[in-house]
Amino acid sequence: MSDAARVLANHRVHVVPVVLALANPPWQRDVWLDPSAFEDLDHVFHTLFDDFCDADEPERYLGVSLRSDEEVVLMRELGAALNAAAAEVPHNTDAEYLRTSAWPEVVTIAGRLAQVMVANDLGELAALLGDSAVPDPCQIGRGTTGNSGERAGGDSDFDTASPQVGSVTSRKHP
C-alpha cells in the first residue's frame, strides 16, 4: 500500500463514520444526547472541520480524506448546512442542533455523502482484491451460500435472479 493510500485510509476511518452518524437521526438522539457516550456533536465538528477534513474548504482534502470530486462537492454542501444549523443555536448544545430548521438538510446531505463515500470505498476494495474476490450482491440469491447460486446443502437449481438495483446517484465549534 502506498503512503498516499495509507493516509487516505487513516483519514477516512474517522470521516466516514462521522458522516454516517450525521445521516442517522436515531443514532443522533440515542448517542449524542446521552451524556455518558463518547461521541457527541462536538466530536463531529472537530472531525469534519479541524482534524481530518475542512468542510468549509474540502478541495484540499481530495486524495487525503476524500476520494472524488463528488465527495468534495457534497462535503462543501454538508459544511454549509452545518454552519447554517450553528447559526440557529444560542447555547451550542447538541439538542438545540437537532431541533434547528437546518437540521433536516444536514441529514439529507450527509445521507447522500455517506452513500457516495461507502460506494467509493467498496469500489476501491474491489479494485484492491480483484473483482472476482468480491461477490456481486445482485447475483446472490436468498438462501445461497455464496455467489455460485447454490443453496446450502448443494441444490444448484436455485434461481439467483434478483430485482434490478438502480445506480447510485447521487458547526461552528466553540
Provide DSSP, 86-141. HTT-SS--HHHHHHSTTHHHHHHHHHHHHHHHHHHHHHHHHHHH-GGGS--GGG--
pLDDT score recorded for residue 5: 86
Q: Are residues 84 and 61 in the same domain?
A: yes
Q: Are residues 7 and 59 in the same domain?
A: yes
Kindly report the backbone phi and psi dihedral angles of residue 93, in degrees, each rounded to the nearest multiple of 5, phi listed first. -100, 155
Q: Are residues 111 and 161 in the same domain?
A: no
User: Cβ of 152: how many Cβ atoms within 10 Å?
Assistant: 10
Q: Are residues 118 and 57 in the same domain?
A: yes
If one counts the domains in the chain, the total is 2
Report CA torsion sign: 129, 130, 132, 136: positive
pLDDT score recorded for residue 67: 96
Q: Are residues 118 and 96 in the same domain?
A: yes
Q: Which residues of the chain have pLDDT under 70?
A: 131-174
Distance from C-alpha of 75 to C-alpha of 59, rounded to nearest angstrom: 9
Q: Are residues 151 and 98 in the same domain?
A: no
What pTM did the predictor assign? 0.75
pLDDT score recorded for residue 154: 46
Q: Are residues 64 and 125 in the same domain?
A: yes
pLDDT score recorded for residue 162: 35
Q: Are residues 128 and 152 in the same domain?
A: no
Q: Are residues 100 and 166 in the same domain?
A: no
Q: Are residues 107 and 144 in the same domain?
A: no
Q: Are residues 40 and 124 in the same domain?
A: yes
Range of the structural domain that residue 153 is part of: 135-170
Q: Are residues 104 and 151 in the same domain?
A: no
pLDDT score recorded for residue 52: 96
